[in-house]
Amino acid sequence: MEQKKVALVTGASRGIGRAVAARLAHAGYAVGVNYHERRDKADELVAALTASGCKAIAVQADVSVRAEVDAMVRRVEEAFGPVTLLVSNAGVAGQALFQDVTDELWERYFAVNLNGARHCIQAVLPHMLHEKAGCIVTVSSIWGQHGASCEVTYSCTKHALIGLTRSLAMELAPSGIRVNCVAPGVINTDMVQVLGSETLHDLAGQTPLGRLGTPEDIAAAVAFLASDDASFITGQVLTADGGFIG
C-alpha cells in the first residue's frame, strides 16, 4: 500500500517556505505549514490552499525548542498521518560585523538554523526508518558555500547545514531515505528587502541571469528533489542562484 504524501515545511508562513508549501500542496501533498509568529500569514495560506482543494494545516512551533517541534509533528501526524517529506527551511538572518556578534545572536542563529533542522529531522525520522522510505530537504544558502562579509554567523550555520545534509545522507541511504539540500542565491523575499532597493539592484546586476530569484524558483528546486525524478539523488546540494557564485 502506497504511503500518503505528507509534507512538513518549516518557516512556511512567508517567503521561500510559503512558496514551497504551496507547490507541494498543489503536487498532492497534505502539508503542515509551520510558523513561529506570523499565524495570520500561515492561516491565510492554509485558507487559500484549502479553497483550491488542497490539504493543509497551520502548525505553530519555534523550531529551536524540541518540545514545540515534537508537538508540531504530532499535530501533523494526527491530521494527515506520518510525515514522508520534511523541508527544513526555517531560519534567521542578518548582518553584523564579526566583532559585534554577541553570544545571544550567535546562539540564536545556531539554535534556529542548525538545531532547528536537527530537532525536526529527529522528530520525523523514526517513522521514516520504520518504513525505510522518506525524503528530507534542507535549505542552506550560497553563503553556506561561499561565505559572506558581515554575515559570518549566518554563513557558519548554513555551512553546517550542508555538512549535516551530506553526512546524514550517507547514514540514511541504506534505509532508503534521501537527504538533499537547496542553496538559494539572492531571493526576493522580506528577508532580503531589508538590504534596500539600491543594494538589491546591484545584486541583481551581479547575477549572471540578470535578476533576483523568486521563492517559486526555490520551490521548484525543492519539489524536484522531493520527487521520484530525483530517486537516485542523495547527499547533494542544488545551487539555485542564477549563476551568482559561478
Amino acid at 181: C
Does the active-site annotation cover 29? Answer: no
Q: Out of 29, 35, 109, 154, which one is annotated catalytic?
A: 154
DSSP-derived secondary structure letter, 3? P
Cα angle at 19 between 164 and 60, to 5 degrees?
70
- Longest Cα–Cα distance in the chain: 56
Locate 146 and state its grid cell. Answer: 561561499
Locate 34 and state its grid cell. Answer: 509551520
Category of 134 on φ-ψ map: left (φ > 0), alpha (ψ -120 to 50) or beta: left
How buried is 194 (Cβ within 10 angstroms: 0-12 exposed, 13-18 middle, 19+ buried)?
exposed
- Give the sheet arrangement for strand 6-9, strand by strand: 55-60, 30-35, 6-9, 85-88, 134-139, 177-184, 237-240
Residues marked as catalytic? 154
